[in-house]
Amino acid sequence: MTQSVVVQVGQCGNQVGCRFWDLALREHAAVNKKGIYDEALSSFFRNVDTRSGGDGPDIYKGKICSLKARALLIDMEEGVVNEILQGPLRDVFDSKQLITDVSGSGNNWAVGHKLYGYQYRENIVEKLRKTAEHCDCLQCFFIIHSMGGGTGSGLGTFVLNLLEDEFPEVYRFVTAVYPSGEDDVITSPYNSVLAMKELNEHADCVLPIENEVRNNILFLSISLLLDCT
């Protein structure tokens, strides 16, 4: 039985991550009709006994009690994380596994990587270790972040470096969202280049997502739906 931990960094990382957890829950619900905590669920979720209140002990077999995502949410602004905590998936995330600030990174890789990275280093390491302690056999970390934003590209790649230092034997998979050619953030190409260097040196596998292609798929899907009505 192996487990994976998802680390969502920045606005884009948390928005994409939220959709991932929603889809994961829906797919498990479609095949797990009896509500049993099985190996498939344990890959990304803890089963926590919350009947006594607070963060209770993990339940490794039997009925699902309260699922908690094996995740760490990081953003240097509070907006997106607050939306997640007020949304339908709010109970899926452990409130102790959140790191936020208020000022943001200003679309600047250096602010995210050099300033916030060192400022929050110990806090990030502590929460990563806490998440890893709940795993019987930690297989990999999935990091989700953008390449164009300051927090995603800067702090996201800082976290990648931390994982290599603290968990050198655990695989590091990165889902990186690349900016489109129509991106109006003037610093996004520079952020992407700086982040790409870090990915090349420290990631075991990179799963690139091109924002423009994603938008094209979305528009095509909407057009097909409209044609069918």
For 61-108, the pLDDT digits (tens) are 778 888 999 999 999 999 999 999 999 999 999 989 999 999 999 999
Establish if 24 belongs to a structural domain.
yes
Type of residue at 54 = G
Residues 6 or more apart in contact with residue 155 via CB below 8 angstroms: 9, 10, 74, 76, 105, 112, 113, 116, 117, 120, 145
Q: Distance from CA of residue 75 to its chain's centroid?
A: 10
Establish if 43 belongs to a structural domain.
no
Establish if 167 belongs to a structural domain.
yes
Has this prediction a pTM greater than 0.85?
yes
How many domains does one find in the chain?
1
The residue range of the domain holding 222 is: 3-34+71-228
Establish if 106 belongs to a structural domain.
yes
Asked whether the predicted pLDDT for residue 226 surpasses 80, the reply is no
3-class DSSP assignment, residue 45:
strand
Residues 142 and 186: beta-carbon distance below 8 Å: no
Tell me: the pLDDT tens digits for 10-29? 999 999 999 999 999 999 88
Establish if 157 belongs to a structural domain.
yes
Establish if 45 belongs to a structural domain.
no
The CATH number of residue 92's host domain is 3.40.50.1440
Q: Is the dihedral of CA 63, 39, 134, 95 positive or negative?
A: negative
Residues 6 or more apart in contact with residue 212 via CB below 8 angstroms: 180, 181, 182
Residues 69 and 6: beta-carbon distance below 8 Å: yes
Establish if 153 belongs to a structural domain.
yes
Residues 198 and 157: beta-carbon distance below 8 Å: yes
Establish if 161 belongs to a structural domain.
yes
Tell me: the pLDDT tens digits for 126-180? 999 999 999 999 999 999 999 999 999 999 999 999 999 999 999 999 999 999 8
